[in-house]
Amino acid sequence: MNTLIEKAKDGFTSTFGKEPTVIAAAPGRVNLIGEHIDYCDGFVMPFALEQNFVIAAAPNGTTTARFGDAKVEGIIEIDVAGEITESTPKWSNYPRGVMHYFREEAGCTIPGFDAYIISNVPSGGGLSSSAAFELSVATMLEGITGEKLNTKTKALLCQKAEHVFAHCPCGIMDQFASAFGETDRLVMIDCQSGEPTLVPFENPDLTVIVANTCVEHELSDGGYASRRKATEDGLKIIGKNSWRDVSMSDVDAAKDTMGDVVYRRGHHVVGEIQRTIDAAAALKANDFDTLGSLMYASHASLRDDFEVSCEELDIMVDIARSMGKEGGVIGARMTGGGFGGSTVTLCESDKADDIVAAMTEQYKEQTGIDPEIFTSRPSKGARLI
């Protein structure tokens, strides 16, 4: 983190010829358990990664916001005195949307400023780099304007920015995890009430391995949208207002009416809601055998009932599982939306390096792909440095 901050400062100075006065950071996130149930009033249990977006910034005395990026040549300029709308390049719509809604929520003007962006959150791995980007911009704006927002308000305005400016109808998990994250805490989010609860993850003997398979598959059936519609259809057939009110016996009773696909989607939703509740209890009780079993069961359900896994994700989980408790692996599962992206493996800290090496070698042998694998423990959410 210190290296990233220094790179942000140096990049700002070389780009704009002065020293930054504000440094903001916001982390990516990984979800330990609770997949594809955020839009079903379920529970999710992500945490903030140690990998962050960092923005160095300073007022520039104009009405123009200028953004430089470590990974993109050139500077984009955005007029902050008038209406802020979508434009090009495409990535600029993230800060455009955040500035638009920050100004609306804070009820303030945004002065012109210069900003330099750098990140070590892997992109394309289902680790919410977009949410980290949004939260880092919103937090930087707090420093530039002096207007401090409520954490939930800040997270929700970033979600709205992604909906409207980036045209991605994401749930609340990504922004909440990046905003509410704390060191040694998971963020258990009740997606029905929209309230987060911090779950202790203090045992230093536990580490999480995040393995980006470095693949992303497109599905011809519309992937995400078709599955979300199946959950809506299933709930309508059962005749209840929320999946939180549905039992597995309700799903089984409606099986013939639902048909096979909708039935299996509903089977996953009810099972995953309960698995997430049970995982939080197992973690609190230091019952790691149960926690590991719940992670494997979650992956199996996502693979077989929700059908959002893929060969590469299954291979990565199988590699981790084959090492077993003797090798230090407690549990593993795919994480994120699926069809590629990353897996999450809970393991013993002192064996993490050996597990990472084995996963890297065996995955490359079986797929020909070099994965991107790193370890992380729950870290602090969006903040001013």
Three-state helix/strand/coil letters over the chain: CHHHHHHHHHHHHHHHCCCCCEEEEEEEEEECCCCCCHHHCCEECEEEEEEEEEEEEEECCCCEEEEEECCEEEEEEEECCCCCCCCCCHHHHHHHHHHHHHHHHHCCCCCCEEEEEEECCCCCCCCCHHHHHHHHHHHHHHHHHCCCCCHHHHHHHHHHHHHHCCCCCCCCHHHHHHHHCECCEEEEEECCCCEEEEEECCCCCEEEEEEEEEEECCCCCCCHHHHHHHHHHHHHHHCCCCHHHCCHHHHHHCHHHHCHHHHHHHHHHHHHHHHHHHHHHHHHCCCHHHHHHHHHHHHHHHHHCCCCCCHHHHHHHHHHHHHCHHHCEEEEEEECCCCEEEEEEEEEHHHHHHHHHHHHHHHHHHHCCCCEEEEECCCCCCEEC
Alpha carbon separation from 42 to 45, 95, 163, 268, 275 (Å, rounded): 10, 30, 20, 11, 10
Beta bridge partner(s), residue 48: 29
Catalytic status, residue 174: yes
Residue 318: other Cβ atoms inside 10 A: 14
State the catalytic residue, choosing from 38, 69, 114, 174: 174
Q: What distance, in Å, lies between the first and last C-alpha atoms of the chain?
A: 11
For the chain, the maximum distance between any two Cα atoms, rounded to a whole number of angstroms, is 68
Distance CA 266, CA 243 (A): 9
Distance CA 385, CA 382 (A): 9
- Contact yes or no for 106/7 (Cβ under 8 A): no
Q: Which residues are catalytic?
A: 174
